[in-house]
């Protein structure tokens, strides 16, 4: 009986924490959009077009830069013939 009550209490607590987290994320997203709009308004030449937030992927609108290729270690680069 106590086990079931503890599990139910734990589930309720997890749901409560998830809702708080979702609310916090929404608040931060709203703040991000507001700050981005202010930056574009204050310095349109610098920030125009680079601060577009893509809500679908939760990334900025910038193209992703590729990492440079790794260099091979010297032992693998040499021929051993």
pLDDT by residue for the chain (81 residues), tens digit each? 799 999 999 999 999 999 999 999 999 999 999 998 898 889 888 877 765 555 555 555 544 444 555 555 555 555 555
With 0.75 as the threshold, say if the pTM is over it.
Answer: no
State residue 64's pLDDT score. 46
Q: 3-state DSSP call for residue 66?
A: coil
Spatial neighbors of 53 by CB under 8 A, at least 6 apart, are: 29, 32, 33, 36, 59, 60, 61
């Amino acid at each position: 009986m106590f086990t079931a009550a503890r599990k139910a209490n734990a589930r309720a607590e997890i749901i409560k924490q998830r809702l708080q987290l979702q609310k916090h994320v929404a608040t931060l997203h709203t703040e991000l959009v507001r700050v981005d709009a202010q930056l574009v308004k204050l310095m349109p030449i610098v920030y125009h077009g680079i601060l577009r937030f893509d809500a679908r992927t939760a990334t900025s609108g910038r193209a992703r830069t590729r990492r440079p290729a790794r260099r091979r270690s010297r032992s693998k680069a040499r021929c051993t013939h």
